[in-house]
Amino acid sequence: MTPEELEDEAARPAPPAYPAITRAERAHGRRLAAIHDMYRAELDAVARMLEAIRSQGADAGALAPAIEGTQLSRNLARFGTACGRDCALLQNHHDIEEQWVFPALSERGGAALAPVIRRLMEEHRVIHRLIGELAEAARDLGRDASASGFETCAARFTRLDRAIRSHFGYEERALEEPLGALRVPI
């Protein structure tokens, strides 16, 4: 699956209906969106940092001369650190889903829910790849705050940001009822 295919809404299976779901169960299922909101806020903060650096004129041309020891160089390194932190947070969130949430959903949701879980796992694999690529660029930028390193890191952050937001949206819509009705702890 490519990052473009990940965003293909038409290819995403719908969950089965749970007509007997209670208000309390639905409220429980909505907790996943609330958890995602925390990660979205983290991504927003890094996106703002990226915008701020760009507005300081930190394009590749302006950075071509040595920037070592400047405020800009420190900001680039901070951006690298923030990207690395987001990678670790997102990886941790997906590890929890894969180790605890998805297995419980599979067990309790049966064949009707299986296509949704399969699709979410495929999306996770794409996102893991994007996390790995960003983490690598973030590490490089932390070591050497260069213009090209910043551009690579920024492009990879933007790509991951887009994919993860699309994934979060599908996941919280598709799992709200199953998480609640099947009483899966999150």
Nearer of residues 145 and 182 to Fe ion, judged by Cβ: 182
Are the beta carbons of 91 and 131 closer than 8 angstroms?
Answer: yes
Give dist(CA 101, CA 185) in Å, integer. 7
Nearer of residues 153 and 164 to Fe ion, judged by Cβ: 164
Nearer of residues 97 and 176 to Fe ion, judged by Cβ: 97
Give dist(CA 7, CA 2) in Å, integer. 9
Are the beta carbons of 16 and 182 closer than 8 angstroms?
Answer: no
Q: Mark the segment that binds Fe ion (CB under 5 A) among 2-10, 91-99, 137-145, 150-158.
A: 91-99
Mark residues 145-174: x for contact with Fe ion by CB under 5 A, - for none: --------------------------x---
Minimum Å gap between C-beta 58 and Fe ion is: 32
- Give the Cα-Cα-Cα angle 136, 142, 145 (nearest 5 degrees): 110
Lookup: tokens for 66: 């040595």
How large is the angle between the packed helices 147-181 and 31-55, nearest 10 degrees? Answer: 170
Residue 3: strand, helix, or coil: helix
Minimum Å gap between C-beta 142 and Fe ion is: 27
Minimum Å gap between C-beta 104 and Fe ion is: 14
Scanning residues 95 to 154, which ones bind Fe ion (CB under 5 A)? Answer: 97
Nearer of residues 43 and 153 to Fe ion, judged by Cβ: 43
Minimum Å gap between C-beta 170 and Fe ion is: 9
Residues near Fe ion (CB under 5 A) are 97, 171
